C-alpha cells in the first residue's frame, strides 16, 4: 500500500509531501474465545507425551519384575536339584549300611526294598526338577533376549547373600538312575 502525507506551509514549517510505502502487509486475526487448533495440539501433545513416558516406565518395571521372578524360579529349581541330589546320596549311604545290616541279620528285606523305592522316587523327582530347571533357564533367556548361551548356573554366596550367573552346559548335568 502507498500513503501520501501533505503538510501545508505554515509560519514555522515549509510545505512538504511525504510518501509511505509498505510492500507486503500480513495480518492474522483470531477471536479470543474460539477454537485454536495450534494451542490445542500443544496442550494435547504435552499430555500424550507424559502419558507415554508413564507407560514406558511401567513397561520397564514390569519387564524387570518378570526377569527377576524368572531368575528366582531358576535359582529355586537349582537349589531343589541340589537338595534332591544330597537326599539321593544320603539314601545311598543308608542303603549301604542297611545292606550290611541285612547281611548280618539285623534288618529285613522289606526295609531294603523301601529304601530302594525311596531312592528311585527321588531320582525321578530329580529328573523332573532338572527338566523344570532347563525350561526355566530357556524362559529366562527368551525374556532377556540372550540368544546363545550354553547354560546357566545360579550360585548363592553365603556371606554376602548375593546372586550371580555362571555359564555351564545345561545338557551335561548329571542324571541319576
Name the grid cell of 67: 526377569
Percent residues over pLDDT 90 in the chain:
22
Q: Are 74 and 140 in contact (CB under 8 A)?
A: yes
Name the grid cell of 34: 474460539
pLDDT(121) > 90: yes
Q: How far apart are CA 86 and CA 139, in angstroms?
A: 26
Give the per-residue pLDDT at 48.
92
Q: Are 150 and 138 in contact (CB under 8 A)?
A: no
pLDDT(174) > 80: no
Give the per-residue pLDDT at 154.
57
Give the per-residue pLDDT at 152.
54
Residues facing residue 155 across a β-bridge: 164
| 134 vs 86, more confident | 86
Q: Which residues have a Cβ under 8 Å from the Cβ of 164 and sit 6 or more positions away?
A: 154, 155, 157
Mean pLDDT, the chain, whole residue set: 79
Q: Are 88 and 115 in contact (CB under 8 A)?
A: no
Q: pLDDT band at 52, cuts 50/70/90?
A: very high
pLDDT(86) > 80: yes
pLDDT(51) > 60: yes
Residue reference for cell 553365603: 158
Query: Quick one: average pLDDT of 67-72?
Result: 87
pLDDT(161) > 50: no
Q: Are 112 and 133 in contact (CB under 8 A)?
A: no
Of 15-19, 35-39, 144-148, 161-165, which gets the smallest average pLDDT? 161-165
- Sign of the torsion formed by the C-alpha atoms of 56, 58, 63 and 68: positive
Name the grid cell of 173: 548335568
| CB hemisphere CA count around 56 (13 angstroms) | 6
pLDDT(14) > 70: yes
Q: Are 7 and 15 in contact (CB under 8 A)?
A: yes
Amino acid at each position: 500500500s502507498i500513503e501520501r502525507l501533505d503538510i501545508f506551509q505554515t509560519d514555522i514549517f515549509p510545505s512538504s509531501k511525504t510518501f509511505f510505502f509498505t510492500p507486503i502487509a500480513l495480518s492474522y486475526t483470531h477471536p479470543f474465545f474460539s477454537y485454536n487448533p495450534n494451542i490445542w495440539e500443544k496442550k494435547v501433545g504435552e499430555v500424550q507425551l507424559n502419558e507415554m513416558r508413564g507407560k514406558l516406565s511401567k513397561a520397564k518395571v514390569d519387564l524387570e519384575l518378570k526377569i527377576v521372578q524368572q531368575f528366582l524360579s531358576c535359582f529355586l529349581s537349582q537349589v531343589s536339584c541340589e537338595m534332591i541330589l544330597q537326599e539321593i546320596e544320603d539314601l545311598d549311604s543308608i542303603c549301604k549300611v542297611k545292606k550290611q545290616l541285612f547281611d548280618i541279620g539285623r534288618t529285613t528285606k522289606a526295609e531294603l526294598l523301601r529304601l530302594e523305592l525311596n531312592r528311585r522316587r527321588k531320582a525321578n523327582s530329580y529328573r523332573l526338577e532338572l527338566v523344570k530347571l532347563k525350561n526355566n533357564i530357556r524362559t529366562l533367556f527368551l525374556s532377556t533376549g540372550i540368544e546363545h548361551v550354553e547354560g546357566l548356573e545360579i550360585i548363592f554366596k553365603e556371606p554376602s547373600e548375593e546372586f550371580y550367573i555362571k555359564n555351564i552346559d545345561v545338557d551335561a548335568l548329571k542324571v541319576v538312575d
